[in-house]
């Protein structure tokens, strides 16, 4: 018996790319059975994202689809639509990220699915939500990063706005979706009633503005500050002899100890840097003083002096490879592998961070090959072999079946 919290929960995932994919990935990690319903012969667009490719597969696709199943369905055919309805009747959660209006045209909107399963938890993800003057606009991470204000505060002050180097608003939205779905499942346990969740990417991103929203509420305009912080100093990236290091001194005790570790007690005595407010006011002068010291040694040397010896919060700016593979991630099992007995595939996995004392979590299988579960899934919900053959013959599973 599985000891995973969402064991027994079945999720139908009709999404493409990252927003819904990451949400259902979170659910799969907690034990839910996630079924990707994909376009016949093509599948999720994210399968083809790249390069790079590994043996014809997209590693990007891997990272948001571990532990799922895949079925191909032509939802523009009556047989495909009915097959989806039969799956929905046996499901707990239904997730889609169509532009508003598309689900209605395909007859997979909330009311249509609820007719098959009145207790379904239905999550509709879109760029701007199901209401409002922008509801029908297309939207992707780049657009939402710009429209949410994130790009206006990212980058150097004398340079153009910069996109965060990962699909941040996709992932933010995915996490809100996962959170909302679990909340709705909990509500259903208490009331017996399903739920409809309307989630817009722009709405999902705004709560993450925190400090920047606070400045606006105080009548100020947030600006691009590079790695500097609007309310803390020193709290930024500094150059070293061979790389970069982040230093975070959030109180006077740490500031004093940092000055001592630099062998610069004069900085602590300098009235320009007396309080955090003073240091924020004189941030450029502070940066020049600190960086003049830090460029005299390597990053590893400073990690020894600042962190190991003095206990200062500091850390190197690592490459992605170094971030994935180091002694800490190895000790925590943060990056592992999963294998597929049938194909002998072994795929690297970035595990999710929830470590329970009395429950299990984690991925147990690689991302599914397109249509890998076409037949098994319908057998499980009671279709006969002749009924499955008929679906295949009618092209419901695509030309490659």
CA–centroid distance for 382 within its chain: 35
Task: Tell me how far the alpha carbon of residue 184 is from its chain's centroid.
Answer: 20
Tokens coding 343:
């194909």
Q: In 3-state terms, what secondary structure has residue 19?
A: helix
Phi and psi torsions of 396, nearest 5°: -60, -35
Is residue 99 within 8 Å of 126, Cβ to Cβ?
A: yes
Candidates 206, 213, 246; CA nearest to 230 is 213
Which helix (H) or strand (E) segment is 81 a member of? helix 78-89
Among 170, 263, 266, 373, which one carries the catalytic annotation? Answer: 170
Query: What CA–CA distance (Å, rounded) separates 143 from 163?
Result: 10
> Which residue in the block uniquely carries the two structure tokens 């004398």?
158
- The SS3 assignment for 172 reads helix
Is 170 annotated as catalytic? yes
Exposure string for 371-382, b = 16+ CB within 10 A, e = fewer: bbbbbebbeeee
391/50 Cα distance (integer angstroms): 32
Q: DSSP characters for 284-326?
A: HHHHHHHHHHHTTS-HHHHIIIIIIIT---EEE---HHHHHSS
CA–CA distance, 167 with 309 (Å, rounded to integer): 37
Residue 155, exposed/middle/buried by CB under 10 A (0-12, 13-18, 19+)? middle
DSSP 234: S
Length of the chain: 401
Q: Which residue has the tokens 């657009």?
A: 143
Tokens standing for residue 304: 């020894």
Strand order in the sheet with 314-316: 235-239, 244-248, 314-316
Q: What is the DSSP letter of 73?
A: -
Catalytic positions, written as ranges: 170
């Amino acid at each position: 018996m599985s000891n995973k919290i969402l064991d027994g929960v079945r999720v139908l995932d009709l999404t493409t790319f990252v927003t819904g994919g990451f949400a259902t990935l979170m659910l799969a990690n907690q034990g839910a059975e996630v079924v990707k319903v994909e376009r016949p012969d093509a599948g999720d667009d994210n399968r083809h994202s790249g390069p790079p490719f590994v043996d014809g597969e997209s590693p990007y696709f891997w990272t948001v689809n571990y532990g799922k199943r895949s079925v191909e369905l032509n939802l523009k055919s009556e047989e495909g639509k009915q097959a989806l309805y039969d799956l929905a009747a046996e499901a707990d959660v239904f997730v889609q990220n169509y532009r508003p209006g598309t689900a209605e045209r395909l007859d997979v909107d909330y009311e249509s699915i609820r007719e098959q399963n009145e207790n379904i938890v239905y999550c509709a993800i879109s760029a701007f939500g199901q209401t409002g003057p922008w509801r029908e606009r297309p939207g992707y991470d780049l657009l939402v990063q710009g429209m949410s204000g994130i790009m206006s505060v990212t980058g150097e002050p004398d340079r153009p706005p910069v996109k965060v180097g990962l699909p941040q608003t996709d992932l933010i939205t995915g996490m809100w979706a996962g959170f909302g779905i679990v909340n709705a499942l909990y509500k259903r346990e208490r009331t017996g009633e399903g739920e409809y969740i309307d989630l817009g990417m722009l709405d999902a991103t705004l709560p993450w503005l925190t400090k920047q929203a606070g400045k606006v509420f105080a009548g100020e305009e947030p600006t691009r500050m590079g790695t500097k912080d609007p309310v803390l100093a020193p709290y930024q990236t500094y150059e070293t002899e061979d790389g970069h290091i982040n230093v975070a001194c959030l109180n006077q005790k740490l500031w004093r100890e940092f000055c001592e570790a630099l062998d610069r007690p004069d900085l602590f005595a300098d009235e320009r840097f007396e309080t955090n407010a003073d240091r924020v006011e004189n941030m450029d002068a502070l940066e020049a003083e600190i960086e003049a010291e830090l460029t005299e040694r390597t990053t590893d040397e400073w990690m020894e002096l600042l962190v190991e010896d003095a206990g200062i919060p500091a850390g190197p700016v690592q490459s992605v490879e170094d971030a994935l593979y180091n002694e800490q991630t190895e000790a925590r099992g943060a990056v592992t592998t999963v294998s597929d007995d049938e194909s002998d595939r072994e795929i690297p996995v970035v595990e999710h961070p929830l470590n329970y004392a009395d429950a299990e979590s984690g991925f147990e299988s690689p991302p599914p090959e397109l249509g890998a579960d076409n037949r098994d899934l319908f057998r499980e919900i009671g279709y006969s072999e002749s009924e499955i053959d008929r679906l295949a013959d009618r092209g419901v599973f695509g030309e490659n079946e």
